[in-house]
Amino acid sequence: MAMDRGIKTRGGLGGLVAKHPITTFFLLTYVLSWWSAPLAGGSIIAHGPFLAAIIVVGLTEGRRGIASFFRGVFTWRGGWQWLVIAPALVLAYLVGALTLNAILGGTITETAHLGSLAPRYLELLLLGGVWEEPGWTGFALPALQERLAHRRYGALQASLILGVFRAVWHIPLVAWGHIPWFDALVLALGMQLLISWVYNRSGRNVLAAMLLHLTSNLVGGALVVPLFSGAARTQFYILFVALACVEALLLARRGGWSVGQPAPQAAGPGGTRPAL
């Protein structure tokens, strides 16, 4: 990798990060996200992956690299149909889970939260998981796909690897009882497959991936899941996690693992195949 402005101005640190950008990204993501957990009852910083990506790109490519990264993340690609497709993928498995839950006897018992959705939605919009995606999808996913591009199922393998790192990222939330373990482990993998499918099929549209994640938070996490309590909630949780994974596997079988045209900065720092 050629020495660029970012590496020159930061000496050995920039060079070290340039040799191992993906590893550095994951380490920084955990540190920047988890530091708050002991102080805030297990809550973690959703912006951690985004901040980690900015730091890695800044250390290796400087200001121009950061500007290119931001353009890659916040440019809409692939057509406006993804404004419908991305949220529809979430709504499909949620509606399916609601239907099956009702058939299996699950009833809606909680509605108090409906009166306070507006502030909750604002919180999720500003501080929620949607802000993970510029890091996971805007940096880590394309970097891993580029790294594994020589393999037959490299894009799929990249998604599974990233899904594991995302699952680990949720450990504090599980440890403090905010989410069940199968949400952290199974749903993280299923959601990653859905996000990767949208990202690749839309021509590397990170905003579409963010829209999918935001829909999951707003409709699933804030609106539908709290409608149930006790066994009915656990049953619904299991159903929608299972259906999300089934949907992801069905989409994977229909294709979508050929990577679209790269956005600026999509191949990782310097646009070259990154080392681990």
Please report whether residue 23 resides in a domain.
no
Please report whether residue 59 resides in a domain.
no
Domain count within the chain: 1
Q: Is the pLDDT of residue 276 over 60?
A: no
Please report whether residue 11 resides in a domain.
no
Model pLDDT, residue 263: 40
Please report whether residue 60 resides in a domain.
no
Please report whether residue 253 resides in a domain.
yes
* Range of weakest confidence among 13-27, 142-156, 257-271: 257-271
Q: Is the pLDDT of residue 251 over 80?
A: yes
The pLDDT confidence band at residue 255, using thresholds 50, 70 and 90, is low
Given CA atoms 72, 161, 172, 268 in this order, what sign does their dihedral have?
negative
DSSP one-letter string for 66-134: HHHHHHHHSS--S-TTHHHHHHHHHHHHHHHHHHHHHHTT------GGGGGHHHHHHHHHHHSGGGGHH
Residue 123, phi then psi, degrees to nearest 5: -60, -45
Model pLDDT, residue 186: 86
Model pLDDT, residue 272: 38
**What proportion of the chain, given as a percentage, has pLDDT over 90?**
75
Please report whether residue 112 resides in a domain.
yes
pLDDT tens figures, 155-175: 889 999 999 999 999 999 999
Q: If you average pLDDT over residues 238-253, what whole number do you get?
A: 89
Please report whether residue 140 resides in a domain.
yes
Domain range for 137 is: 77-271
Please report whether residue 41 resides in a domain.
no
Model pLDDT, residue 264: 37
Half-sphere exposure of 223 (CA within 13 A, CB side): 13
CB 93 within 8 Å of CB 243: yes
pLDDT tens figures, 64-100: 999 999 999 999 999 999 999 999 999 999 999 999 9
pTM of the model: 0.88
Residue (of 22, 13, 14) closest to 162 by Cα position: 22
The pLDDT confidence band at residue 183, using thresholds 50, 70 and 90, is confident
Q: If you average pLDDT over residues 15-38, what whole number do you get?
A: 94
Model pLDDT, residue 153: 83
What's the chain's average pLDDT? 88
CB 274 within 8 Å of CB 147: yes
